[in-house]
Structure 1
Amino acid sequence: MHDDNREFRIFISSTFRDMHDERDMLNQKVFPEIRKICWERGVNFSPVDLRWGINSEETERGEILRICLDEVENSQPFFIGILGQRYGWIPDQGQSGLNIDEQSNLYYGIVSEALLEERSVTEMEIRYGMLKVKNRKAIDAFFYFKEEDLSPIDEPVASQAKLAQLKDHIRSWAITTDNVTHLLDGYCSLELLGRRVRADLLKIIENRWPENQTPSAIERERSKHLGFAQSRRQDYIADESSIAWIDSHLDHLAYHSDRSLVIWGPSGIGKSALLAEWVDRTRKRRTDVLIFEHYLQANSHISTPELLGRLLDSMNVSKNEAESAQQLGNLENYMRERLQAYNKPVVLVLDFNGNNSYGCFTNLPENVLVITTKTYVTDGVTLEVPLLDDNRRKQLIDKFSKRYRKQLDAQQIALINAAPQTRNPLFLKTLLDEIRLFGRLEARTPQGVSNEITALLENYLNSDSLVDLFERVIAYRENSLGLGLVEQVLSLIRVSLMGLTEDELYGLLIQQGLGCTPRDIIEVLRLFDPQLSYSGVDGGAYHFIHDAMDAAVWNRYKLAAVTGRRLELHALLADYFYNVPDKLLSARLRESVPYYLVESKQWQNLDDYSAVHHAAYPPTCYTDGDYLIGNLRRITNISHSKFLSSVRDSITVIMAEWDQENNIKTLFELNKQLYFTNKLKPIDGRDELFESLAVIIKEKGLDSYARYIQGVLPETSTVFYFVTTIERLLSCAPEECHNRPLSM
């Protein structure tokens, strides 16, 4: 059965005091994977854990039962019930918070009966949520009974008898409704419980939101972006003035000479969420407009032909026509012609965040509005995304509380509101996610009962930046999983070029001699689920979503130095991937392997690999920077801060050697420094570096030498890369540099 409702909200019912470990395991190990699978299918997964979802004020007002039953109602038909050896808290009428004299009360029947029979809140949840529904076959309810032991239970005998009756009632329900597989009667370990819950939730997903077994590459890509957009919208509190500003430009498109908008702001400010919300509204408001959206976080490594293929497909251009244009080398012009012939407004939402890899969206017809994103202010028509004001911050907290039923008390909310950092949506959402994953309302310590949520808040709110916050997040997980494992996994992901898969991480750690299991890798990835993006490229590679998380890992594990730790990791990556069979079949590895070889200074292996690649993928066009490795698209994810200063220092040393001896060895050393200069993002320092390199090239006569060795050694890949890089850099030279005489 296919379900058009894309909300998967499931209630977790159990007693509290004896089920902390079970709930922690589900939240930290099972639910992150389920959330990722749902995201890939455009489904919002929201497990409702009321362990700390009721604050002290609500308890004092007697609202516990209403809140519990409200959430069961909101989560139907999805329900998980976990029962151990405790029956749980039995409220009296005064604690119920419900006026059972009011016959119109939604919960009158279930509560009045439960109070008379002195049932526990857990039993009320189960009976109201699942066992009282008429259409039992439509219920996606699953129950898990913990294996009984002989430990003494601190409950009255009457409560234990009611627990036995409740379990028998559920067993009977499972048999009479033909739902025997919905009951695990006697799990003996957390691992067994986790495996079974995972399998049951996957059955729900497959039944209600089945994966198309034969989707095209374009359909898969479109679903990925729709899923990403929906995930951005679910926690977004709209800034109506920004929405209206974009609306105005679209509605008056014919009157604007500049049909390109730039949405800008720092990392975490909500640029992607703003665009996702605007697209969703505009598709409903302006049915005459074609909107094409691409989010870099959903796929940061798509090639220009693939991206244009998606756009043309959205205009109902046949695949054969698009492929014919590509074979003729005319794909970009063909795209412009089809846009002009479309005769309707077209909006290209390109959430590239300043990535300039795709230079094809220029000189577009007048019916096209282009909206891009950047992290820095730029020329043209721009909109700066504002920080959260008091009202939007409150709405975001309320939305989180409602979604997960995690109520903060007045003191905790006051702590959040007093911190200016929480005006950044990413900071605030990270804070709330940490509480959801790790907070318990009351935790036993040697000093007594402490409020762990408040302690978490105070620690995280001492962060003076997003980077500092993520470093504290990392430290918390190190305490949970161990420093060595967390450091290795995060460091490898950070220094990788296009992310790493679970299997690759496991293989790398085994090659390094770190004793671990695949499950250990998965546990780390799941605990960092809010900070990771799953690209789905070549088996599914993980990389960090935000620059701030990148920087936190970079700082915490001291990866800035070119030598030492970073060199070791790049050498590990180079050795591992250089020996992978059929690596040329993977687009991700075709781009990553040469980078790892360069960074680990394996120059002979780089030359050998490049020659093999050149033979397998002969270059056909050297425009748009593709010449560095045949027709590979440019690698633009490398931050300039990783090697900008080291490039300058190294070139100074090499130029001193060049003055002494003009030979291929010196060229080889220079080539390794120039190899990735064209990958630098257009931010602080890049243009200055390019200009200074161009001056050096002219002053030292490297351009003349490049032409000379190209004639002598035309087939050497090192020479090929060197010559084309020299040409690239010379294009950035200052005007006066072009008029200087050549030296030999």
Structure 2
Amino acid sequence: MVRRELIFRVFVSSTFGDLIAERNALQETACPALRRYCQERGARFQAIDLRWGVSEEAALDQQTMTICLEELRRCQTVSPRPNFIVLLGDRYGWRPLPATIEAAEFEALRQHVPGDRKALLDEWYERDDNAVPPEYYVRPRTVHLDAAAREAELREWAQIERSLQETLRQAARASFPDPADPRLPKYEDSATHQEIRHGALQAADAARHVHCYLRHIDGMPESERAQEYRDIKDGKVDVEAQGRLQSLKDQLESLFPDSGEHVYTYGARWNDGGPQSDLHALCDRVERDLRAIIDEELAAFEEIPELDRETEAQQAFGRERQEHFLGREDVLAQIRAYVTGPDNRPLILHGVAGSGKTAVVARAADWMGRGSAPGTTLLTRFVGATPASSELRPLLRSLCQEMALLENDTRPVPTELNDLVRDFRTRLARATAERPMVILLDALDQLGALDGARELHWLPEELPEHVKFIVSVLDAEGPEGGCARTARTRLPDAPSLEIAPLSVGEGDALLRVWLQQARRTLQLEQRRAILAQCAEGGLPLYLKLAFGEARRWKSTLPPPALGRDVPQLVSDLLARLEDERQHGRVLTSRALAGLARARRGLTEEELLGVLSADLAVLEDFEQRSPRSPDVTELPVVVWSRLHAELEPYLTRRRAGATVVMAFYHRQVGEAVAQRYLEKDTGAHVRLAKYFERQPLSERMVDECPWQWARAENWQRLSGMLGDLDFFDAAWRLNQFDVREYWAEIEARSDYRMVDAYAPVLEAPSERVDSIRSLAILLYETGHLEESLRLSEYQVDRYRRAADRDNLQAAIINQGRILWTRGDLDGAMALFKEAEQICRQLGNLDGLQRSLGNQGLILWTRGDLDGAMALHKEQERICRQLGNLDSLQRSLGNQGLILKTRGDLDGAMALYKEQEQICRQLGNLDGLQYSLGNQGLILRTRGDLDGAMALHKEEERICRQLGNLYSLQYSLGNQGVILKTRGDLDGAMALHKEEERICRQLGNLDSLQRSLGNQALILKTRGELDGAAALHKEAERICRQLGNLDGLQRSLGNQGLILRTRGDLDGALAFHKEKERICRQLGNIEGLALSLANQAALLAGQSPQALGLAVEAHRLAITHGLTALAKQIEPAKGAPPLDIPAEPLGWSPVSSAALRAARTAMRADATSTKLAFRAA
């Protein structure tokens, strides 16, 4: 079996009281050393010592040996070697009662039990006919909460237990006279002997990985003074027990051919009432022995290719999910028909959570693996089943590697996403009739959001010949069902197949199989209770959860009430786990709350750390296990036992470079949240405090501020972001997070960014590395003066140092600030200087940024041809470099030029490509720009509802990021739509907020647009003086900025006011100047408006007016300006209509160009290798 994970989980078996010193020494020295050793090598070490693992409640429930042997089994499963060490002294130890005895065996024993003892036996053992075969189990003891009552119960139980042990032992010897009878050990073996039997004597390959440490005490008394260290009965040495101990030691020594390597014998001297031994030597030996095996396993693990580990883990997951698959023949038949049929599109399997999609995929894969045509390549991945399958990039990489292996292709598989997608599709195209290919991907909704995985841009819409592709997705409302909705949108004609609920007959058959595997059954009424509830929904997940509870039901119990749906059944599961005889409410609730509140999940070590720092958890542990040694950390076995019960409902996925645990089923996570998190408001605080204590790392930076934000502790969050070491790390990891945190802080508290960073603003030379990203953040959030101060410092520093590579990046960022303030000439000079430096250095990345920014200024000035030429050159370089982030900006800016020219279809196509790239990159800033521009096209086409929806999403993202620049654009465009709908008050409120933001930012261009739109509302209300004053202020700003597009709008709107006042000559002069500017700019929409309004003014001169109206209508029709065309249509007849001016929501040249330019420059500044530093 291929080892899936580097976890070394070692069960420590020994008698309890006599080896306390040895076990304490191991926990204090050898085990921490081994944990560090493994951690340094990417592995984990866990010592399972059940002195800390069995609570008093569990002992009262007679679970001690069951817990011990279950933990031992888990060690053997998780860690094939090493997994078991033995500590033995001079004491054979406690002999537990058998927890269960087969009914036939029990009744045979009872024949040899004296009459006076039968009543005792019947009192404590009860028959359970739900076991297969039927058995008797020892009853739980009464739980007393009072300490004195507990002590009394313990004394009473000790006498009862001794009587039962003696009775059963004598009856067993009488019933099974052969000493070798395999039924005898459970009546005669000590607890330690039973552990050793399972962990060493009967374990596979024990001679290669089990180690024994045997102690002999010299000079030990043979009386009750030594009863803690040897078996004493009736004041004397228990000869029978000592004989069994010696026999056990002999068996262990004979187990190993070279006993000196695996059996370490050490001595101790009796002194002062106890043994004295060299514990340092013991710890050194244990550490040496285990480290030697660990080194072998590490080396062997490294030799196993990562692909082999992944495919083996995937196959094992699939085997588990379809091991007892029943029914669904109609579904499987349709899958077979698809695989053998002609359809060249992916097949989409869909269903609600818990409907059995994974089991269907697993069974289909099993059938295809056994029944496909020879030579068929079958690739199966269960997304989220392994860390490598939980994110898009490693998923595609493993699929490509597997295909390469089958093709004997030794060339390396790409690592970059775009190259991976191309490589994946190229390899699909290599399928042939002789080597067809089938790919199954289950649970696409389990993919992480990184790389835009859930947008399914990587999934082929049409398949090459001889390729079949089957995916499964979740049907659900909200974000969880996003993959299903995306699949239907991207693949509207693809075949789909719903995974319907189970029929009652299928549910009954499946339940029987599961029970049979567990060697259990149910009474008729118990079975009916489950099936009746299952019939209401028919979800396999419900049935699985119900089975998990029902397998514990005894035959004598009436059917317990079951939850009516999955969330309620999960709640039943949690209630059982909270039982004091199980794990207790404190541990269960705190552990699950931690997992549910974690941003991306938690590693086992992180969860243990959070629990160990929780005083409530430690106090609960001490109360539940008063005889365990004192602890400062929660013993791993305490969590391990709970984890074993939760494991079917958890998954392991990647969080950056770390593998974390998270809930696999959404409904389980929701049930946990509903049960615990509505009452437990401190989970975020506990997680934040834990991560705050950790060294600065990707995990700490990703989780800690997120937890403080969710805890709404703005003081701690602002203080953390104000720490420049932390800020630098957070910005490198995810700049959008930083912006979002500050947006939340400033919106919901009095803490301010400029105050937090005042020291570096006053002395930038003290933090040279930090000011690069800090200047970007300040610019993005509207602090232009502060950003310019840092930028000027950078430019001056790089000039003095003759550091031309960093200089070009710094002056580009300074240029964007000047441009935002309206200094286009100053900005263009800086961009030109950057271009010259980049061409001399051969720096293509810096060159494309410089060209893009110059193109935006040309666009603002109306030179569309010059702007397009620069953006085309920028696009070519970006595609050459594979720079998707800059590419999406270039495409968006070209889209704005096409829109200005009236090519709405071409513009929309570019915006759609930009949107796809931004979703793929997770670039929210670029995404909101693309959505806003698409909204403008929809508005132009008359689709106001579609436009408003996009602008609303744009606004939401802007507020999330704290992006005031884009927010004011979104508000302005929504205001224009509300005015169009007649909601003047709503429109004015939005434009007023837009104006406030513009004045705060010093954004003159956007300010003139806002003033113009407010003027239009005032005109509609009849307030012509107020409207004219606002238009005049807008005109002044446009002439100051050289913004011809904004100027033509203002002139046109002033012309309309003059016409209303009866000044037709003045109005015509304004419209004529507007026409001249629009022809210069190539602004089709503005030109059509100008011509239509001139036609309205010349209504008395019909031929000239008609000619103008016809030209305006032709321009609108041929360029897709549907709404405008409808307005102009009547103007071709007499009398001409009054055509209103275009609202100032978005200028095709100036405002749009400025907005897109900010997109480009902002994204350049925030890109990892582009901003204030050259790549």
Is 2:624 aligned against 1:545? no
- Give the CA deviation at 1:359: 2.7
For 1:463-520, what per-residue CA distance to the aligned partner results, in whole angstroms no more than 9, with x for missing partners?
1111112223334434545655544443343244422223444566788987766536
- Structure 2 vs 1, CA of residues 397 and 123 (structure 1 numbering), >3 Å: closer, same or farther? farther
Please tell me whether residue 427 in structure 1 is matched to residue 542 in structure 2.
Answer: yes
**Distance in 2 of aligned mates of 1:552 and 1:122:** 43
Determine if contact 2:379/2:439 at 8 Å carries over to the other structure: yes
- Matched residue type, 2:361: L
Instruction: Structure 2: give runs of 5+ residues left out of the alignment.
Output: 5-12, 15-57, 81-95, 110-126, 136-160, 217-225, 267-273, 275-285, 448-453, 476-483, 489-493, 619-631, 689-703, 710-716, 748-752, 757-771, 781-808, 810-844, 846-882, 889-912, 925-951, 961-966, 972-985, 1002-1141, 1168-1175
Q: 2:375·2:436 contact (CA, 8 Å) conserved in 1? A: yes
2:398 paired with 1:310: yes
* Contact 1:54–1:407 (Cα < 8 Å) also in 2: no
Q: Which residue of 1 aligns with 2:1154?
A: 708
Partner of 2:470: 371
Instruction: Provide the C-alpha distance between the structure 2 equivalents of 1:427 and 1:95, rounded to a whole number of angstroms.
Output: 48
2: CA distance, partners of 1:600 / 1:536: 27
Inter-partner Cα distance in structure 2 for 1:594 and 1:90: 69
Assess if the C-alpha contact under 8 Å between 1:2 and 1:209 holds in 2.
no
* 1:276 aligned partner, one-letter code: A
Equivalent in the alignment of 1:113: 178
Measured in 2, the distance between the counterparts of 1:407 and 1:588 equals: 57
2:921 pairs with one of 616, 631, 641: 631
Work out the CA distance in 2 between the residues paired with 1:341 and 1:553.
47
- Report the AA paired with residue 543 of structure 2: L
Q: Does 1:341 align with 2:443?
A: no
Question: C-alpha separation between the residues in 2 aligned to 1:334 and 1:60?
Answer: 68
Pairing 1:52-91 to 2, within 5 Å after superposition: 89-90=168-169
| Residue 491 (1) aligns with residue 580 (2) | no
Contact 2:344 2:463 in 1 (8 A): no
1:555-566 to 2 correspondences below 5 Å? 555-558=674-677
Contact residue 237 and residue 392 of structure 1 kept, 8 A: no
Question: What residue is the counterpart of 2:314 in the other structure?
Answer: 225
Check conservation: 1:29, 1:523, Cα contact below 8 A: no
Matching of residue 20 in structure 1 with residue 352 in structure 2: no
SS of equivalent residue, structure 1 residue 370 = strand
**Which residue in the other structure is 1:292 paired with?**
379
Q: Equivalents in 1 of 2:542, 2:186: separation in Å?
A: 35
| Distance change >3 Å, CA 609–CA 247, structure 1 → 2 | farther
Q: In 2, Cα distance between the equivalents of 1:518 and 1:562?
A: 23
Query: How far apart, in 1, do the equivalents of 2:1143 and 2:69 lie?
Result: 62
Alpha-carbon separation, structure 2, partners of 1:217 and 1:136? 25
Answer yes or no: is the 8 Å Cα contact 2:349–2:471 preserved in 1: yes
Q: Which residue of 2 aligns with 1:281?
A: 367
Check whether the contact 1:498–1:592 (CA below 8 A) recurs between aligned residues.
no
Change (3 A) 1:137 1:32: closer
Q: Normalising by the residue count of structure 1, what TM-score does the alignment of the two structures yield?
A: 0.60
Distance 2:347 2:991 in 1: 49
Q: Does structure 1 retain, via aligned residues, the 8 Å contact 2:348–2:471?
A: yes
Is 2:458 aligned against 1:360? Answer: yes
Please give the per-residue CA displacement for 1:8-48, whole angstroms capped at 9, x wherever unaligned: xxxxx99x98993534644786766765668xxxxxxxxxx
Find the aligned partners of 1:406 and 1:156 in 2 and give their Cα distance: 43
Secondary structure of the equivalent of 1:89?
A: helix
- Conserved 8 A contact 2:443-2:471: yes
Match of 2:707 in 1: 572
SS of corresponding position for 2:634: helix
| Aligned residue number for residue 992 of structure 2 | 660
Looking at structure 2, the residues matched to 322 and 345 of structure 1 have their Cα atoms a distance apart, in angstroms, of 23
Q: What does residue 566 of structure 2 align with?
A: 466
Q: Is the 8 A contact 1:611 1:717 kept in 2?
A: no
CA-CA distance at 1:312 after TM superposition: 2.1
One-letter amino acid of the counterpart of residue 425, structure 2: R
Alignment RMSD: 6.7
Report the AA paired with residue 420 of structure 1. Answer: C
Contact 1:90 1:118 in 2 (8 A): no
CA distance in 2, matches of 1:260, 1:521: 45
Give deviations 1:210-238, integer Å, cap 9, x for gaps: 9622445544433442343233234x333
Distance 1:52 1:620, change over 3 A: farther
Give 1:168's aligned residue.
Answer: 246
Q: Distance in 2 between matches of 1:134 and 1:323?
A: 41
Question: SS of the counterpart of 1:464?
Answer: coil
> How far did residue 662 of structure 1 move?
1.3
Query: Are the structure 2 counterparts of residues 464 and 176 from structure 1 closer, same or farther at C-alpha, using a change threshold of 3 Å?
Result: same
Match of 1:691 in 2: none
**How many angstroms apart in 1 are the aligned matches of 2:103 and 2:998?**
72
Report the more deviating stretch, 391-400 or 536-545: 391-400
Taking a change above 3 Å as real, the CA distance of residues 161 and 278 of structure 1, as seen in their structure-2 partners, is: farther
Within the candidate set 482, 501, 516, 2:603 is matched to 501
2-side partners of 1:170 and 1:624: how far apart?
73
TM-superposed CA distance for 1:550, in Å, is: 1.6
Larger Rg: 2
Checking the alignment, whether the CA contact within 8 Å between 1:710 and 1:719 is kept in structure 2 is no
SS of alignment partner, residue 213 of structure 1: helix
- 3-state SS in 2 of match to 1:619: helix
Describe the shift of the 1:89–1:628 C-alpha distance in structure 2 as closer, same or farther (beyond 3 A): farther
- 2: CA distance, partners of 1:433 / 1:587: 46
Q: 1:247 to 1:523 in 2, by over 3 A?
A: same
Structure 1 position 61, deviation (Å): 9.6
What residue in structure 1 maps to residue 1032 of structure 2? none
3-state DSSP of counterpart to 2:601? coil
**Residue range with higher mean Cα deviation, 530-539 or 388-397:** 388-397
Q: Equivalences for 1:183-222 in 2 at 5 Å?
A: 212-222=301-311
Cα distance in structure 2, aligned partners of 1:340 and 1:632:
29
Deviation at residue 173 of structure 1 after TM alignment: 0.8
Establish whether residue 534 from structure 1 lines up as the match of residue 534 from structure 2: no
Displacement of 1:174 in angstroms is: 0.8
Deviation, 1:545, is 0.8
In the TM superposition, residue 544 of structure 1 has moved relative to its aligned partner by: 0.2
Distance in 2 (CA, whole Å) between partners of 1:394 and 1:346 is 34
Q: Which amino acid aligns with 1:314?
A: E
Deviation at 1:349, TM superposition (A): 0.6
Listed as ranges, the gaps of 5+ residues in structure 1 are 5-12, 39-48, 71-83, 97-110, 189-196, 442-450, 635-642, 670-697, 722-744
Contact map agreement 2:172 2:187 (CA 8 A) in 1: no
Contact 1:503–1:518 (8 Å) recurs in 2: no
> Partners in 1 of 2:465 and 2:613 — Cα distance?
56
Counterpart residue type for residue 565 of structure 2: S
- CA, structure 1 residues 321+577, in 2 after alignment: closer, same or farther (shift >3 Å)? farther
Count of equivalent residues: 613
- 1:625-650 deviation per Cα after TM superposition (whole angstroms, max 9, x unaligned): 5755993599xxxxxxxx99x969x9
Structure 1 residue 543 displacement after superposition = 0.5
- Contact kept? 1:584, 1:590, Cα under 8 Å: no
* Kept after mapping to 1: 8 A contact 2:388/2:394: no
**1:542 maps to amino acid:** M
Q: Which residue of 2 aligns with 1:44?
A: none
Contact 1:292 1:349 survives alignment (8 Å): yes
* Distance across 1 between alignment mates of 2:729 and 2:398: 22
Higher RCO, 1 or 2 (CA under 8 Å, sep at least 6)?
Answer: 1
Structure 1: distance between partners of 2:289 and 2:64: 16
Could you tell me how far apart the structure 1 residues matched to 2:637 and 2:412 are?
40
Contact in 1 for aligned 2:382/2:389 (Cα 8 Å): no
> 1:367 offset after TM fit, Å?
1.1
Measured in 1, the distance between the counterparts of 2:729 and 2:64 equals: 43
Give how far 1:408 is off. Answer: 5.2
Structure 1 CA distance for aligned equivalents of residues 615 and 515 of structure 2: 42
